[in-house]
Amino acid sequence: MLRSERLERIEEYINHNRYATIPQLAEEFGISASTIRRDLEALGEAGRVELTRGGVMSLHRKVSEEASYHEKTLANREEKARIAAAAARMIKPGCTLFVDSGTTTRELVPFLKEGQGLKLVTNDLLIASELSSAQGVEVILPGGLLRRGYYTLTGSQAEEMVSSMRADLTFMGFDAVRPRGFMISNQEEVGLKRAMARCGSRLVVLCDHTKFESDSFITVCPLADASLIITGKELEEGIRKRLEAAGAVLELV
């Protein structure tokens, strides 16, 4: 197979699946990981795909389209672990926390397991399950409707319960971070996210650097609502400057 033909087939595969890792592509096309990396670099330089750490995303994604949970789990895992480690340093014994559903907030779990006297409210079933045996954490689920495929509880019941509570810290993720605010693709989650942001003394946003290069459907809250945004050192300098000019406080890890 000619390289040009292989590049076209790789691009078609990525557009069909929306996201792929280097090992997936190497197995699919029967070539080495190093060859796949060179092919992805060529596609990226040509503006045909979007490269991420360890993988690649399709550019043919609608504004309102959300990646699958599996895609989100695979993307930028090492960076998400760094972000979670930085966020965990803010957690003190006896804290009450709101922890939003998501793959970056889920990286907090190993640190939360070591917590002492923590009270944690989360709408993420996987986070709650993984903390079920943690001795120093009391886990509270706000109830509501289970969002299919995302392990997330949403709806008016969850919003009402969270609105009656208060927390020292809210850890939250988003699908996109823009100068106009924090954005997500699924409008069903907006109400609960706003309740968690409003009822926490400090909102700390945890997003990998690709979220600052994306756009999404609906704005949850303005940048000014966050006390801090923690992201990876991969964030482009120009994006950082634009966000800080819009009033954002960032920590790059």
Number of alpha carbons in the 13 Å side-chain half-sphere of residue 174: 33
CATH annotation of 3-61: 1.10.10.10
The yes or no reply on domain 72-252 and CATH 3.40.50.1360 is: yes
Per-residue pLDDT tens digits for 12-36:
888 777 778 888 899 889 999 999 9
- Which residues of the chain are in CATH 1.10.10.10 domains? 3-61
Given this model, what pLDDT does residue 19 score? 75
Q: What's the whole-number mean pLDDT along residues 123-133?
A: 96
- Which residues of the chain are in CATH 3.40.50.1360 domains? 72-252
In this structure, are residues 115 and 107 in contact, taking their beta carbons and an 8 Å threshold? no
Q: What's the whole-number mean pLDDT along residues 229-247?
A: 93
pLDDT exceeds 80 at position 109: yes
Residue 90: Cβ-neighbour burial (10 angstroms; 0-12, 13-18, 19+): middle
pLDDT exceeds 80 at position 68: no
Q: How far apart are alpha carbons 130 and 215 in whole angstroms?
A: 31
pTM of the model: 0.76
Residue 198: which of 104, 106, 103, 100 has the closest Cα? 100
- 141's tokens: 């689920």
Residue 53: Cβ-neighbour burial (10 angstroms; 0-12, 13-18, 19+): middle
